Amino acid sequence: MSKPQNHRRALALVATGVMAAGPALAENVAVSYGTNWVAQAEHGGFYQSVADGTYAACGLDVTIVPGGPQVNNFALMLAGRIDFYMGGHLDALFAVSEGIPVLNVMSSFQKDPQVILTHPGRVTSFEELKDLTMIVQDNAAYYEWMKAAYGFTDEQRQTYTFNSAPFIVNENAGQQGYLSSEPFAVEAETGWAPDVYLIADAGFEAYSTTIQTTRDMVENRPEVLQCFVDGSIIGWYNYIYGDNSAANAMILADNPEMTQDAIDYALEKMRAEGIVDSGDALTLGVGAMTDERNKSFYDSMVAAGVIPAGLDYTQSYSLDFINKGVGMDLRPAQ
């Protein structure tokens, strides 16, 4: 991990970044953001902006509502009980296909962190994964894409039950995972580090860890939405590059099963693989999305048979609140 910056300096930069993005709200506005799982480093940018006062500087009182196996924060957003949800690229498309008025307004991750793990040295390329038994959960959209784009088959797939034992004992298997989770767990259990293939690097273009909200929010409370997006963007810069200790303390408090070692591992992987700050984010700023990539991903999902043709995919996102270079001055000089 990089050494943390001086916290007082970081706060000054945060305040500058928020004000540069737009005026603060006239009063303290309470909003809530529901995550899609229990607290972890992959949620760090949002915790960062709560912890260091970025949201407050813009006039927001933000509550993070952790997700989990028994929590449906998406449904809570639809019911009006929370304001924003940590969504994804594909679920916004599904929402459009079902007539649900939600859309993505920012993508925290330029690369989906979904990976395939293999035994060390077993293969040397993503293409060679076709020679292995693939341990992947049922109905995984990325596997449908792998079938259409690379020729993987249903016959070679074995159902993943969120237990790595079948993979660990079979050197001719590849297993699904999350970049910062399963590789860490497998190495801790076995003592050997699996090889890791990021599906995004093979061409899977899904945006990930989005800010998703209702069309009512977009149309009737755009100033609140802009403040939350700007604050979240700045939070991700400061979490990835700055002093993230207060945010990590909040994550550990919200998820007692999390450890600092796991957070450190996740941060290292997110930085090394450009999960947050790569691609279009390098020129447009963290949170970037583009029309071109949204169309390309939609087309790939149609080709894979995941999404129907003829859908107005442009209703699944808005670029009005991003791509403005907010917070880019917080990125360290290369």
Whichever domain contains 183, its CATH number is: 3.40.190.10
- Provide the 8-state DSSP code for 138: T
Tens-level pLDDT at each residue, the chain (334 residues)? 332 232 223 333 333 344 344 557 867 899 999 999 999 999 999 999 999 999 999 999 999 999 999 999 999 999 999 999 999 999 999 999 999 999 999 999 999 999 999 999 999 999 999 999 999 999 999 999 999 999 999 999 999 999 999 999 999 999 999 999 999 999 999 999 999 999 999 999 999 999 999 999 999 999 999 999 999 999 999 999 999 999 999 999 999 999 999 999 999 999 999 999 999 999 999 999 999 999 999 999 999 999 999 999 999 999 999 999 999 999 998 7
* 307: nearest Cα among 295, 289, 292: 295
103 and 192 in one domain?
A: no
Q: Would the pTM count as exceeding 0.85?
A: yes
Q: Domain check: are 164 and 273 in the same one?
A: no
Using the 3D structure, point to which of 169, 202, 235 is the last residue of a domain. 202
The last residue of one of the domains, among 139, 171, 202, is 202
Do residue 107 and residue 119 come from a single domain? no
Residues 212 and 304 in one domain: yes
- What is the domain count for the chain? 2
Q: Are strands 157-159 and 133-136 parallel, antiparallel or unpaired?
A: parallel
Residue 61 counted as domain residue: yes
Question: Smallest Cα–Cα separation from 322: which of 288, 294, 276?
Answer: 288
Q: Is residue 140 part of a domain?
A: yes
223 and 319, same structural domain? yes
| Domain boundary pick from 138, 172, 202 | 202
Return the exposure string of 36-46: e unless at least 16 CB atoms fall within 10 Å of the residue's CB, then b: bbbbbbbbbbb
Contact 68, 272 (CB under 8 A): no
By residue range, what is the domain housing residue 123?
A: 114-202
Residue 158 covered by a domain = yes
The reply to whether 167 falls in a domain is yes
Do 82 and 217 share a domain, yes or no? yes
Nearest one of 35, 29, 102, 104 to 64, comparing CA atoms: 35
Same-domain check for residues 242 and 193: no
> Does 2 map to a domain?
no
